[in-house]
Amino acid sequence: GAGVSQSPRYKVTKRGQDVALRCDPISGHVSLYWYRQALGQGPEFLTYFNYEAQQDKSGLPNDRFSAERPEGSISTLTIQRTEQRDSAMYRCASSSGTSRYEQYFGPGTRLTVT
Amino acid sequence: AQSVSQHNHHVILSEAASLELGCNYSYGGTVNLFWYVQYPGQHLQLLLKYFSGDPLVKGIKGFEAEFIKSKFSFNLRKPSVQWSDTAEYFCAVVGRDDKIIFGKGTRLHILP
């Protein structure tokens, strides 16, 4: 596709369940980023990949959060044992190797933990 | 800690009014600055960016922003807004650790 896609667009889950959020970046983009955006806040960095290598995961809030990009394209952000405080918009972005600060965002996944 | 401050959380203007959205950042090193916009129902998209050179940057849809180093500011302007400019606007800076730091956003509502 032409842009970054994310699925699902909306996810409602019960506390304690695991969720997996998917991001499909722009074809050929080297870098992929995950952000979390709480209501009334701007996006906050979670982690990023260059190709399949996770370069920085310092923004992941705790060890319930993990991400992978095994083949250097699609990425999955997994949240285990979800808690209500995990409710947020999860955004994915990708950028080319030549301009990593010009990030193209997907539509986001709105996660609600009940 | 590095931060980005957007002073106006919610702005309401009539069509044809002039717009200025304030943005200040705390990072004092080499700055890379952005404004992103999210239109209703759409995803975040880049409006304009400043990396170096002319501190007055022009972006899409008639927007511009001015980097004033002495004031640590990067305010967004548009001389005459349209109803279609209704959106949420985010200022952002690349921080010391090479990550993009976003402000909290400003919701702009244009009255037709």
DSSP labels, B48-72: EEESSS-SEEE-GGG-EEEEEGGGT
Q: Is A42's CB within 8 Å of B105's CB?
A: yes
Tell me which amino acid residue B18 is.
Answer: S
Give the nearest chain B residue to A40 (CA atoms): B104
Query: What is the mean pLDDT, run by run of 10 residues, along chain B of 112 residues?
Result: 88 97 85 93 92 93 94 96 97 88 96 91
pLDDT, tens only, B30-45: 789 999 999 998 999 9
Give the closest of A43, A58, A101 to B32, CB-based. Answer: A101
Give the Cα separation of A6 and B69 in Å (integer): 37
**Is 70 exceeded by the pLDDT of residue A1?**
no
At residue A107, the pLDDT reads 94
B46 touches chain A (CB under 8 A): yes
- Best residue in A49, A105, A109, A110 to probe B by mutation, most B CBs within 10 Å? A105
Neighbouring-strand partners of residue B19: B78
Q: Work out the minimum CA distance from B89 to partner chain A, whole angstroms.
A: 10
- Best residue in A5, A45, A50, A109 to probe B by mutation, most B CBs within 10 Å? A45
pLDDT, tens only, A32-67: 999 999 998 999 999 999 999 999 999 999 999 999
Q: Is B84 exposed, middle or buried (0-12, 13-18, 19+ CB in 10 A)?
A: exposed
Other CB atoms within a 10 A radius of the CB of residue B22 amount to: 15
Q: How many CB pairs under 8 A join A and B?
A: 47
**Contact (Cβ atoms closer than 8 angstroms) between residue B71 and residue B41:** no
At residue A101, the pLDDT reads 84
Give the Cα separation of B4 and B23 in Å (integer): 7
